[in-house]
Amino acid sequence: MKYALITGASGGIGSATARAFAQAGYGVALHGHRHREKLHALAQELSDLSVPVLEVYADLSDPTQAKAMVESVLEAFPQLDILVCCSGLSHVGLVSDIDQESWRKLFGVNVDGMHFCCQAVLPHMIHRKQGCILTVSSMWGQVGASCEVAYSATKGAVLAYTKALAQEVGPSNIRVNCIAPGVIATEMNAHLSQEDLDALAQETPLCRMGTPEECASCALFLASDGASFVTGQVLAPNGGLIV
C-alpha cells in the first residue's frame, strides 16, 4: 500500500484529490487548518473505504507546525509516498490596494506553506530514494490576471519552485510535478458573479468550467507508475483556455 498526504484537504480540489487517492487504495493523511468540521466529515467518509485515514491540523505558514505535521504522519504511516500541496488562498483586488498583511498571508500559505511541507518530507523521501511531490498552481500563475496580481505572483512562484525542485531531487528518484487548473467549480470562485462564470465558460474551448474531480484525476495520474518518467512538468486542466 502507498500513502499520501494531501494538504488543504477540506477544500474543493483537496477533498476531491483525497477521495481519488483513497478510492485508488492509498492510505491518506488529510490536512486542514480552519475547517475542522469539513475535514472530519471527509475523514469519516473515506474511512468507509477500508483504507488508513489520518486527520492532521496545522498552520502551514509556520515551519514548526508544518514539520510537526509531517512527523505525525510518519509516526502513523509506515512511509509517505506522495505529497500533494493543495492548500491555497485567493485574493482579488487592485495591487495598489493590497496591504502588507494580506500580501504576506497570501505568500505564507501559497508559497511558504508549500515549501515547508516539501522541506519536511524530503529527508524521508531522499532516504528511501523514492517519492512524488505534486504542487497546485493556477493558469494565472502561467499568464497572470488583472486584479489578481498577488495571487498570480504566488502561483507563478509555485511553478518555478516545482521546476527547480524537480532538477534538485531527480537524482534521488523523486518526481516533482505541478497541476495548474483553469476555471474550476469550487468555493474559490464564489466571488465571481454567474455572469462572469458564464463568460469564462464561453471563452473556454470546451465551453464549460472544470470540476475538482478532473483536477484530482490529474493528480492521481502524476502520482501513478504511468507517469514514472514525468518530472518538472505542468499539467493544466483548463479546458483549453490557456495553451
Residuewise pLDDT in 10s, the chain (243 residues): 999 999 999 999 999 999 999 999 999 999 999 889 999 999 999 999 999 999 999 999 999 999 999 999 999 999 999 999 999 999 899 999 999 999 999 999 999 999 999 999 999 999 999 999 999 999 999 999 999 999 999 999 999 999 999 999 999 999 999 999 999 988 777 767 788 888 888 999 999 999 999 999 999 999 999 999 999 999 999 999 998
Strand partners, 243: none
Task: Choose the CATH number for 3-235 among 3.40.50.720, 3.40.605.10, 3.40.640.10, 3.40.47.10.
Answer: 3.40.50.720
Residue type for position 195: E
Q: Rounded to an integer, what is the distance from CA 127 to the centroid of its chain?
A: 24
What is the reported pLDDT for 189? 73
Catalytic residue among 3, 26, 57, 151: 151
Phi/psi for 10 (5° steps) reads -85, -10
Distance CA 152, CA 89 (A): 11
Of the candidates 79, 77, 59, the one whose C-alpha atom is nearest the C-alpha of residue 68 is 59
Q: Rounded to an integer, what is the distance from CA 75 to the centroid of its chain?
A: 23
What is the reported pLDDT for 188? 74
Q: Rounded to two decimals, what is the model's pTM?
A: 0.95
Neighbours of 145 (CB within 10 A): 14
Ramachandran area for residue 115 (φ above 0: left; ψ -120 to 50: alpha; else beta) = alpha
What is the reported pLDDT for 206? 96
Distance CA 16, CA 35 (A): 15
Q: Rounded to an integer, what is the distance from CA 54 to the centroid of its chain?
A: 18
Check if the beta carbon of residue 243 is closer than 8 Å to that of residue 180: no
Distance CA 52, CA 109 (A): 27
Q: How many residues does the chain have?
A: 243
Of the candidates 42, 35, 40, the one whose C-alpha atom is nearest the C-alpha of residue 21 is 42
Of the candidates 76, 136, 75, the one whose C-alpha atom is nearest the C-alpha of residue 109 is 136
Residue 125 is placed in which grid cell?
523521501
Active site residue 161: no
Helices (H), the chain: 12-23, 36-47, 63-76, 100-107, 114-128, 139-143, 149-169, 194-203, 212-223
**List of residues 6+ apart from 242 with CB closer than 8 A:** 139, 142, 143, 182, 236
